Chain A
């Protein structure tokens, strides 16, 4: 298309493409949810004594988030939630990274040695089957310290999805790729660095997308069990009164958003690291 023609077409085709795209659909869904929320909030406001407890309006929640009123006597809403978030996320983050490293190393060991694989496999299954989150109180009492408890739980929860998915990634490499390497007389190190490790990246991210929200959930959960500064603590404190109910809703919303964002973030990082996944042409 010549530039003259392009100029004539204007912004309309881009807009049209957007309307028909996947993102439009998601946008419509989000708007739909907002509308339904508001409708229910109106119903609730008309029928319940303390509507704030059950389902406040979205604008009330968002409004209180940005207000300058001091909530606890020292900090505004944003400051309060900001510090709480920071605390919760940093611990979750450390646990997350620890779990990633350990999980990856275990997957490597399991792939390198049949003995390690045989020993580890049933225990990995057991870890998946037992409710680690449910054991949070006991881990807290073992470690004694709330910060290390958060890290430990997040690490365990990340460890399983990462190691099983990375192992699946290693196993997914078809026989011919192994044979190709064999025919070049490549050594084990080259086999791993050139073939197996790059091949497992998509699987690795599948594992991350599962474990990132779980690590955050775990961190928040541990907060609720003991005092401190994290999001979970704020959550239980706000329920007991002493702050307005809107604090509670703010925290709920923020927690939900952080959880969703962590999931999206993993997807974004994957898209950046794996440009070859786009542009699939058909024959």
Chain B
């Protein structure tokens, strides 16, 4: 029986790994290029890409820092705001539900329409380009992250197990106690459901808004700049970095979720 279990684990990890190795080989040997009809300039070999990354570690690092500031800042601000909106909506239940549909509608607005608008609004905030650009970018990411959190947090604050509210009423618990002891802990899994959506969204948002910003910092912007300049290997280095950021943040999220929700997994 134990061998069956090990075989299962091995195939779960091994098969995709094998698939990845196959893709890597196809890429390196340029078979992939002939399929896609590209050349090694537009699609550099993986070895070349890793070369560039190790050569430019410092400058890549500083770009990553800028992107992370935007992504994490927007994520934090959006999550907090989203949660607060959910709390308000759960108190004023009737108006809250309608308000949430509006917030979800905001989510459907393409970032590309939002970014230039916000840029204009923040133009007079400061004379320093980097400050006002960063602010504009963070605002856009915040908006993208708010909706997911508010919708999910609202569900977490209001969809309680049957009779749990009645139990609290029977203890004559004041509303604030009901909130801290019942609604808040209940909403925690839902918060993580929202984060699973908003963490990747914050990364994407950060990268995309960098295209529209005044200053030319950030991993996303570098991707574009380098392509425009024809420096493809560098562009791909930044793409690999962007993927790494996305994957890395998601893994961190999964680890945090596992730690926080561990005791709940009955």
| Chain A contact residues, CB within 8 Å of chain B | 22, 25-26, 28-30, 33, 48, 53-55, 114-115, 118-123, 125-126, 128-135, 137-138, 140-142, 213, 216-217, 220-221, 224-225, 232, 235, 239, 248, 251-252, 255-256, 259-260, 262-263
Contact = CB atoms under 8 A, between A and B. Distances in A.
Given A131-B242, A142-B36, A137 B235 contact: yes
A235 B115 CA distance: 11
A255 B108 contact: no
Given A25-B98, A121-B16, A220 B113 contact: yes
B112 A53 contact: no
A119 B15 contact: yes
Given A115-B15, A137-B227, A252-B117, A131 B108 contact: no
27 contacts: A28-B98, A29-B99, A33-B102, A53-B120, A54-B120, A118-B12, A118-B15, A119-B16, A131-B203, A131-B243, A131-B245, A133-B111, A133-B208, A135-B242, A138-B223, A142-B36, A142-B38, A142-B43, A213-B109, A217-B112, A221-B110, A224-B212, A239-B116, A255-B113, A259-B109, A260-B105, A263-B108
Nearest to B41: A141
Contacts of A138: 223, 227, 235-236, 239
A48 B111 CA distance: 25
Contact of B242 (A119, A128, A134): A134
Nearest to A238: B116
A232 B232 CA distance: 24
B204 interface: yes
A217 B112 CA distance: 7
A118 B97 contact: no
B126 interface: no
Contacts of A122: 16
Contacts of A135: 223, 239, 242
Nearest to B207: A134
A216 B107 CA distance: 13
Contact of B113 (A25, A48, A134, A256): A256
Interface of B: 11-12, 15-16, 19, 36, 38, 42-43, 94-95, 97-99, 101-102, 104-105, 107-114, 116-117, 120-121, 123-124, 200, 203-204, 207-208, 211-212, 219-220, 223-224, 227, 232, 235-236, 239, 242-243, 245-247, 249-250
Contacts of A118: 11-12, 15-16
B102 to A, nearest CB: 5
B139 to A, nearest CB: 14
Contacts of B223: 134-135, 137-138
B109 A256 contact: yes
A259 B16 contact: no
Given A25-B94, A54-B120, A118-B15, A252 B36 contact: no
Given A26-B98, A118-B12, A135-B242, A220 B112 contact: yes
B110 A141 contact: no
Contacts of B12: 118
Given A129-B246, A221-B112, A255-B112, A134 B107 contact: no
Nearest to A212: B108
Contact of B116 (A25, A248, A256): A248
B264 to A, nearest CB: 20
B97 A22 contact: yes
Nearest to B201: A131
A217 B208 CA distance: 11
A30 B200 CA distance: 29
B105 A263 contact: yes
Contacts of A132: 204
Contacts of A225: 211, 224
A134 B99 contact: no
A130 B247 contact: yes
Given A134-B242, A137-B224, A213 B110 contact: yes
Contacts of A259: 108-110, 113
B243 to A, nearest CB: 4
B231 to A, nearest CB: 12
Contact of B110 (A115, A134, A220): A220
B262 to A, nearest CB: 21
Given A25-B98, A54-B120, A260-B108, A131 B16 contact: no
Contacts of B121: 54-55
Given A25-B97, A131-B203, A235 B116 contact: yes
Contacts of A115: 11, 15
A134 B220 contact: yes
Contact of B207 (A131, A213, A251, A260): A131
A133 B102 contact: no
A248 B19 CA distance: 46
Contacts of B15: 115, 118-119
Contacts of B110: 213, 216-217, 220-221, 255-256, 259
Contacts of A260: 105, 108-109
A44 to B, nearest CB: 9
Leading 6 A-B pairs by shortest Cβ distance: A25-B98, A134-B207, A217-B110, A255-B113, A213-B108, A259-B108
